[in-house]
Amino acid sequence: MNNNLKMQRKEIPTLVAYFMIIVCMVSCNNKHGDKPDNDLNQVVNVKVQQIATSSGSTEQPYIGMIEESSSVPLSFLISGNADKVMVSEGQDVRKGQLLAVINSGNYQNAYQIAVSKERQATDAYNRLETMYKSGSLPEVKFVEIQTGLEQARSMVAISKKNLNDCKLYSPTNGTIGKRMIEPGMNIIPGNPVFQLVKIEKVYATVPIPENEIATIKKGQKATISVSALGNKSFEGTIEEKGVMSNPLSHTYKVKITMNNPQKLLQPGMVCNVIIHNNNTAGKIVVPADAIQIDQKGQKYIFVADGNKVVKKNVETGSPYKNGVIITSGLQPGDQLIIEGYQKVSENTTIQIVK
């Protein structure tokens, strides 16, 4: 028993010594402390870009296709067999010019029959009119004769129109874009046999991505070059801007009108289009990835003020190319942090590197 007490008394100083060592180690750790990850005294290297307003027009390249200014499908109103075709594809035609004829034999016969019946009805009317006026012919009989004459005249008008419809005339000046009729073909009423187009003025149709359509306005100028014509250039103006997007490509159709008096531009030609955009003049444009959003949904960016970081809340406008237009929050001359902004917070010490 005494031996055990002696052993315990010997171990107490040792435990006290161990305890003091642990206390010293903890005290030293607390004195030095673990530095937070975002220590404000830590210097972060960043790259900056000086904010400046856009001073002039920009040029946006696109790929488009030439289209006719108008396209009219022409068809016969009656059925029959094609007899003659007077024009070919690419031929210029004038208003009222004869384009094609279908066999009119049956319609001619029908017209002659209608004329004969009209003549017969007219003769009967003339003979019985005197009897009606003298009172020897009942009124109901005379009304029947009148009705027969009117029906005969209507049949003459219908058969004459059918006979005239055997010939197809051009309704306006233009160019035969497509010919879908050949002699001997059976013609179906309403089925197009010619495509009449106008190419004195043509359109360059361009698909514009949805993130750029906001910068496109009617009246903007554009330069169009066509490789099929040796990269010959033409000047045009935006005349139409689509409001419904293509559900697959998410693009909007824009039409650029051009004068084509020599008819060099043909529908279907692929063209390179450069739209001259003056809408960004005087605007501040920053890279889209430099804009951040806090937990409240407020957009902000970091700028350099000497060797410190300043957080600025901003309002954004329309997307533009690879950037975004800033409508408020920035001033020309601000030093926008474009690299290293992920490592900083407000008041972080920075060093600007090139």
Domain CATH for 51: 2.40.420.20
Q: Quick one: pLDDT at residue 291?
A: 86
- In contact, 50 and 335? CB cutoff 8 Å: yes
Average pLDDT by stretches of 10, the chain with 354 residues: 47 54 49 43 82 65 93 94 94 95 94 95 90 87 92 95 95 94 94 94 93 86 93 93 91 94 92 79 76 87 87 80 77 85 86 82
Q: Quick one: pLDDT at residue 288?
A: 80
Q: Which of 274, 214, 209, 218 is nearest to 245 (CA)?
A: 209
Place of tokens 């063209």: 271
Residue where one domain finishes, among candidates 127, 152, 187: 187
Q: Quick one: pLDDT at residue 18?
A: 54
Q: How far is CA 197 from CA 71, 173, 248, in A?
A: 4, 9, 29
Q: How far is CA 15 from CA 7, 20, 22, in A?
A: 13, 9, 11
- Do residues 292 and 337 both lie within one domain? yes
- Do residues 52 and 85 both lie within one domain? no
Q: Quick one: pLDDT at residue 55?
A: 54
Q: Quick one: pLDDT at residue 343?
A: 85
- CATH code of residue 140: 2.40.50.100
- CATH code of residue 231: 2.40.30.170
- Do residues 171 and 79 both lie within one domain? yes
- Partners of 336 in beta bridges: 49, 303
Domain containing 341 equals: 44-56+282-352
Q: Quick one: pLDDT at residue 116?
A: 95
Tokens at 39, concatenated: 């220590």
Q: Is residue 101 part of a domain?
A: yes
Q: Quick one: pLDDT at residue 5?
A: 42
Q: Quick one: pLDDT at residue 100?
A: 96
d(CA 286, CA 336): 8
- Angular region, 234: left φ>0, alpha ψ -120 to 50, beta rest: beta
Q: Is residue 286 part of a domain?
A: yes
Q: Quick one: pLDDT at residue 20?
A: 61
- Do residues 105 and 161 both lie within one domain? yes
Domain tally, the chain? 3
- Do residues 266 and 218 both lie within one domain? yes
